[in-house]
């Protein structure tokens, strides 16, 4: 069942990624770096409150051994109260923030984001219940619908010359699509009755989750806010676009893998109380896929950005190459939140997040004071390295894991990445073709090199590939 869910979730996320890539290709030619920076800063302000918005409600419903209608109604009520309070806060700060940065458009971005925040409780509980029940086909429908809504609305209004506002309208359309489609699929409106029966349980769990969420958003958005003030809006746009390729890869993998892993770990915890075997297996598979991808992006960043975003964004390519180093370390810390949630160690996650993100903000500020974007990027990489180390100590307190077991499960992934890099790096100097042709050749050669490397080192994922191939061949074989 887990393999089937992973495949379905993987297909879902990559169709969604395809829509996102097509949208980015068009929007990069319609929206300038300065307008992109304006949108990024507006979203960064709103994101700080969005972290509190969820209050761990979704994870609470997923991890609970027994779910009741009273718990569901309490979760909805808590989400709605928080959404209303945070919306008032956002409306209050929108104009002062816009004046601080000297950009009236920032206020508009925050207002539109606030509308998305207000309606979000109408989808939060639905999505958590669908995930808990393993209804990944329905999750597939919701995700694709929201992706098309975001892309379509953003492109239309960007074409009309609305810049940062167009991107904000697209984000609101995505939130609205989540609400509409999830409710059409669930059709259980009894959950929307107000109740506070289990508010103490939710608030205890949610407080730690909210602290962790705010810390992560502050760390993640700090670069936009600080760089925007000290270096400039165009620098924010370049920094944002330099991480777009990496974010797309992370989202396509983490958003497809993590929900399945979370559901499976929660089920294992309820049945056996042991999540370590699944963690080690997931880490082995995740690294063997992500590390070679980041190596290829780092080598061919210039071509990828030129093809996807256009010539005006090629200045972001050196930053993308450097950020890939940090992204490789981030792979190792990506399971921390899931493990702490499933192991019912939310207090560990809140302390970890505060420490990690406080350190990230400090490092970004140091880089921005130098008024050089490459220094900010280098500090972001250093932050990922430190976070990887801190993540290990956090996870070790939640489950019985040590460095030797991690090395034993990941060394083959490292060898696969080295072999793929050894093949693809010399190829970059041989392929004297237009960027699009180079990327096509690199994509095909990279997949072939990866498959050969996986077989040579006998990586465990090879067995999964053989099983998947057997299923596909069986379906295609004439009866």
Name the more confident of 56 and 145.
145
User: Has this prediction a pTM greater than 0.85?
Assistant: no
* CB 239, CB 319: distance < 8 Å: yes
For residues 318 and 233, give the distance between their C-alpha atoms in angstroms, rounded to a whole number.
18
Alpha carbon separation from 66 to 79, 92, 192 (Å, rounded) = 20, 40, 19
Q: Confidence band (pLDDT; 50, 70, 90) for 59?
A: low
Question: Among all chains, which residue has been given the structure tokens 């669930």?
Answer: 186
pLDDT at 219: 65
Average pLDDT, the chain: 80
For residues 208 and 214, give the distance between their C-alpha atoms in angstroms, rounded to a whole number.
10
What's the whole-number mean pLDDT along residues 243-271? 66
Alpha carbon separation from 271 to 136, 267, 275 (Å, rounded) = 21, 6, 10
pLDDT at 448: 92
Q: Confidence band (pLDDT; 50, 70, 90) for 419?
A: very high
Q: Which residues contact 204 (CB under 8 A, 6 or more apart)?
A: none
Length, in residues, of the chain: 479
* Least confident segment among 29-33, 62-66, 166-170, 442-446: 62-66
pLDDT at 5: 56
Using the predicted structure, report yes or no on whether residue 271 has a pLDDT greater than 80.
no
Name the more confident of 257 and 432.
432
Using the predicted structure, report yes or no on whether residue 418 has a pLDDT greater than 90.
yes
What are the tokens at 388?
A: 């990887």
Using the predicted structure, report yes or no on whether residue 261 has a pLDDT greater than 80.
no
List pLDDT tens digits, range 103-123: 888 899 889 988 888 888 888
For residues 409 and 358, give the distance between their C-alpha atoms in angstroms, rounded to a whole number.
31
List pLDDT tens digits, range 366-375: 888 887 788 8
pLDDT at 231: 75
Question: Among all chains, which residue has been given the structure tokens 């006998």?
Answer: 458
Question: Three-state secondary structure along 363-426?
Answer: HHHHHHHCCCHHHHHHHHHHHHHHHHHHHHHHHHHHCCCCHHHHHHHHHHHHHHHHHHHHHHHH
What's the whole-number mean pLDDT along residues 399-412? 84
Q: Confidence band (pLDDT; 50, 70, 90) for 153?
A: very high
The domain locations on the chain are 1-197, 221-479
For residues 149 and 152, give the distance between their C-alpha atoms in angstroms, rounded to a whole number.
5
For residues 45 and 164, give the distance between their C-alpha atoms in angstroms, rounded to a whole number.
14
* Least confident segment among 39-43, 69-73, 264-268, 431-435: 264-268
* CB 241, CB 309: distance < 8 Å: yes
Using the predicted structure, report yes or no on whether residue 405 has a pLDDT greater than 90.
no
Q: Which residues contact 2 (CB under 8 A, 6 or more apart)?
A: 260, 264
pLDDT at 471: 63
* CB 338, CB 201: distance < 8 Å: no
For residues 453 and 229, give the distance between their C-alpha atoms in angstroms, rounded to a whole number.
46
E strand or H helix at 232:
none
**Which residue intervals of 133-198 are DSSP H helices?**
136-159, 163-186
List pLDDT tens digits, range 216-251: 666 666 677 777 777 777 777 778 778 878 887 777
Q: Confidence band (pLDDT; 50, 70, 90) for 56?
A: low
Highest mean pLDDT among 10-24, 191-205, 231-245: 231-245
For residues 160 and 95, give the distance between their C-alpha atoms in angstroms, rounded to a whole number.
25
pLDDT at 381: 92
Q: Which residues contact 458 (CB under 8 A, 6 or more apart)?
A: 412
Closest CA relative to residue 257, chosen from 8, 1, 2, 10: 10
* Least confident segment among 195-204, 308-317, 421-430: 195-204
Helix (H, G, I), strand (E, B) or coil at 300: coil
Q: Which residues contact 174 (CB under 8 A, 6 or more apart)?
A: 116, 146, 147, 149, 150
Highest mean pLDDT among 107-116, 183-192, 208-217, 340-349: 107-116
pLDDT at 215: 63
% of the chain residues with pLDDT over 90: 12
Using the predicted structure, report yes or no on whether residue 71 has a pLDDT greater than 90.
no
E strand or H helix at 445:
helix 435-456
Closest CA relative to residue 239, chosen from 333, 339, 147, 372: 372
Using the predicted structure, report yes or no on whether residue 266 has a pLDDT greater than 90.
no
What's the whole-number mean pLDDT along residues 46-62? 67
For the stretch 95-100, contacts whose Cβ atoms lie closer than 8 Å and that sit 24 or more positions apart, written own/partner, are 97/45
CA angle, 130 then 131 then 133, to 5°: 65
């Amino acid at each position: 069942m887990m393999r089937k869910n992973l495949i379905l979730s993987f297909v879902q996320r990559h169709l969604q990624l395809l829509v996102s890539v097509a949208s980015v290709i068009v929007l990069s030619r319609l929206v300038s770096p300065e307008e992109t920076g304006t949108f990024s800063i507006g979203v960064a302000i709103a994101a700080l409150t969005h972290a509190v918005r969820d209050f761990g409600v979704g994870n609470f419903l997923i991890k609970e051994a027994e779910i009741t209608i009273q718990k569901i109604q309490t979760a909805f009520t808590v989400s709605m109260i928080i959404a209303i309070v945070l919306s008032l806060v956002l409306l209050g700060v929108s104009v002062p923030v816009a004046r601080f940065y000297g950009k009236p458009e920032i206020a508009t971005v925050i207002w539109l984001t606030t509308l998305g925040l207000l309606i979000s409780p109408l989808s939060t509980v639905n999505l958590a219940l669908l995930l808990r029940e393993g209804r990944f086909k329905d999750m597939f429908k919701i995700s694709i619908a929201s992706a098309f809504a975001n892309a379509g609305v953003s492109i239309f209004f960007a074409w009309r010359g609305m810049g940062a506002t167009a991107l904000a309208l697209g984000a609101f359309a995505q939130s609205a699509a989540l609400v509409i489609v999830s409710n059409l699929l669930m059709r259980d409106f009894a959950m929307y009755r107000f109740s506070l029966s289990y508010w103490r349980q939710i608030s205890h769990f949610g407080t730690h989750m909210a602290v962790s969420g705010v810390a992560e958003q502050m760390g993640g958005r700090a670069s936009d806010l600080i760089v925007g003030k000290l270096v400039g809006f165009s620098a924010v746009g370049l920094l944002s676009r330099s991480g777009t390729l990496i974010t797309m890869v992370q989202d396509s993998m983490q958003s497809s893998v993590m929900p399945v892993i979370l559901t499976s770990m929660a089920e294992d915890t309820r049945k056996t109380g042991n999540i370590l075997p699944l963690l080690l297996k997931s880490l082995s598979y995740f690294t063997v896929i992500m590390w070679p991808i980041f190596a290829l992006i780092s080598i061919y960043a210039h071509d990828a950005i030129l093809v996807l975003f256009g010539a005006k964004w090629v200045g972001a390519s050196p930053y993308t190459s450097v950020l890939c180093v940090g992204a490789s370390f981030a792979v190792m810390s990506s399971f921390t939140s899931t493990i702490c949630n499933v192991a019912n160690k939310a207090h560990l996650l809140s302390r970890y997040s505060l420490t990690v993100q406080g350190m990230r903000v400090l490092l970004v500020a140091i880089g921005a004071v130098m008024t050089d974007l490459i220094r900010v990027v280098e500090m972001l990489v250093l932050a990922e390295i430190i976070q990887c180390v801190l993540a290990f100590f956090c996870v070790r307190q939640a489950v019985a894991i040590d460095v030797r077991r991690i090395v034993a499960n990941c060394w083959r992934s490292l060898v696969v990445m080295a072999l793929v890099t050894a093949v693809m790096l010399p190829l970059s100097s041989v392929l004297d073709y237009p960027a699009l042709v180079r990327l096509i050749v690199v994509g095909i050669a990279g997949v072939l090199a990866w498959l050969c490397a996986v077989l040579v080192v006998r990586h465990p994922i090879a067995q999964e590939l053989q099983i998947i191939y057997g299923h596909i061949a069986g379906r295609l074989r004439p009866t």
